[in-house]
Amino acid sequence: MLIILEGCDATGKTTLANLLARAMNGTVVHCTVDTPNTIEFFNEIAYASRTQTIIADRFCYGQFVYQDEDSRPITSTWKRNIHREESDMGDTSWDALWYLESRLLEYDVKLIYTYADPRTIADRMVYRGENPNKIGQILNGYEELWKHTLIKPIPFKT
């Protein structure tokens, strides 16, 4: 089983991931800007979930909220490895996401969107020494993202 946790910073993803891992004897995979974040990387995680419970603390979805198209590893690997025709492609990010999600549908995947009210998120971020200035933009980005996904998230308010 693959459980994917997505949401704005400071919405409890890591806390929830650790609780689920303990309760389900699972492994937490924390996807950050330092992990490859390519289509192949996410496919490997999904494949591993066939024999073990994996809780992904973030997955591919954050790229669509936190990065522009040219900075998304999922888009560059889509262009380079899967869809080689780059002329007149337009925004290929959705194609890359839909391709990956169509592969994910072969597995037992649950997508959970963690969220909280903006004031709570801001308080948590300030407590952690982080800048809360873009919370509204990030929350709006996730709401827009969910309109484009094949796998619809289960909302979880923290």
Please write the tens of the pLDDT for every residue from 30-48: 999 899 999 899 999 999 9
- Token pair 């969220």 is found at 115
User: What is the chain's alpha carbon radius of gyration, rounded to the nearest angstrom?
Assistant: 16
Pairing between β-strand 109-115 and β-strand 2-6 as defined by DSSP bridges? parallel
Query: Number of structural domains, the chain?
Result: 1
As a whole number, mean pLDDT of residues 123-141 equals 95
Structure confidence at residue 75 (pLDDT): 77
Domain holding 98, by residue range, is 2-157
Structure confidence at residue 69 (pLDDT): 78
CATH of the domain at 87: 3.40.50.300
